[in-house]
């Protein structure tokens, strides 16, 4: 876990316990049903692997140029691996705009693809809603 991740949690008045509850919840059948399931696609731009930052993450399958489309957050009303496994960093190299993950800078092959969650309004709304629903009971 990066130092900035801890700061991010504090900004939203979240604890490590909150994070653990969230991680459990997003792996439940209820959450998968609510979000339309998880689509595991074969993508030419990224692969899934263990992350030094947190659990699993997305990594560049090839050299990616700045402003290049990496893939979509959802397809056919299902979340993609991008929605589930793109990790946070304040030193992000990609961003999500209009349901699409783009590079912000060149990303070398085998480097982790990272976004800054603070710049993702949809994610912030989900976190706030999840907290309002008292997810600690999960």
Q: Digits of tens for pLDDT over the chain (138 positions)?
A: 567 888 888 887 778 787 788 778 777 887 777 767 777 777 889 998 999 988 889 999 999 999 999 998 888 777 888 888 888 898 999 999 888 899 999 999 999 999 988 887 777 777 777 777 665 554
Nearest to 135 by CA among 47, 18, 1, 57: 18
**pTM, rounded to two decimals:** 0.80
Q: Would you state the pLDDT for residue 62?
A: 96
Q: Would you state the pLDDT for residue 138?
A: 47
Domain count, the chain: 1
Q: Which residues span the domain enclosing 94?
A: 3-137
Backbone φ and ψ of 71, nearest 5°: 170, -175
Q: For 24-80, where are the E strands, in sequence order?
A: 38-39, 46-50, 56-60, 69-72, 74-75, 78-80
Q: Domain of 95: which CATH number?
A: 2.170.270.10
């Amino acid at each position: 876990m990066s130092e900035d991740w801890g700061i991010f949690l504090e900004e939203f008045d979240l604890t490590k316990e909150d994070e653990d509850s969230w991680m459990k919840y997003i792996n439940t059948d209820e959450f998968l049903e609510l979000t339309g399931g998880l689509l595991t696609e074969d993508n030419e731009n990224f692969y899934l692997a263990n992350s030094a930052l947190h659990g699993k993450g997305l990594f560049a399958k090839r050299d990616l140029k700045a402003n290049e489309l990496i893939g979509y957050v959802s397809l056919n009303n299902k979340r993609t691996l991008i929605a589930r496994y793109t990790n946070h960093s304040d030193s992000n190299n990609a961003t999500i705009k209009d349901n699409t993950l783009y590079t912000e800078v060149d990303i070398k092959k085998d480097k982790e693809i990272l976004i800054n969650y603070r710049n993702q309004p949809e994610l912030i709304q989900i976190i706030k809603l999840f907290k309002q629903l008292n997810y600690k009971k999960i």
